Amino acid sequence: NTRPPILTNHLILSDPEDCQRIARLHVQKMPDQGLFLHTGVLSQLDNDRWREQRAHLSEAFLPFESLKVLFDVSDARAVKSLAILRDQAASNSGIVRMNEFLLNETMAQ
């Protein structure tokens, strides 16, 4: 290792209220994280750059908004699929050919 050692001061908080208050106001990361994480959103020391990178990734971690349009469609298809399964079971003495059903559902979606 050719890098000089990173010397920093550490402060350990144990009061939950202090931890929440400090975490909201002081979000600077420790410089030693870059030693094993290299560069990226997890080891970004510049808070403005970190916010920019996080904004690009937030949809990947919080997909509800992007998937919200699919919920109604999926719910309607689930109701229809249940009706199809019940009809097949009723007309075939309780036997449902699941492979064919699942293939049909895959193609329907």
Torsion angle, alpha carbons of 59, 64, 68, 71, to 10: 130
**40-81, pLDDT tens digit by residue?**
777 787 888 888 888 888 777 777 777 788 888 889 999 999
Residue 32 CB coordination number (10 Å) = 13
**19-43, pLDDT tens digit by residue?**
898 888 877 777 766 666 777 777 7
pTM given for the model: 0.42
| Cβ–Cβ under 8 Å, residues 53 and 41 | yes
Better-scored residue on pLDDT, 86 or 26: 86
Amino acid code (one letter) for 51: R
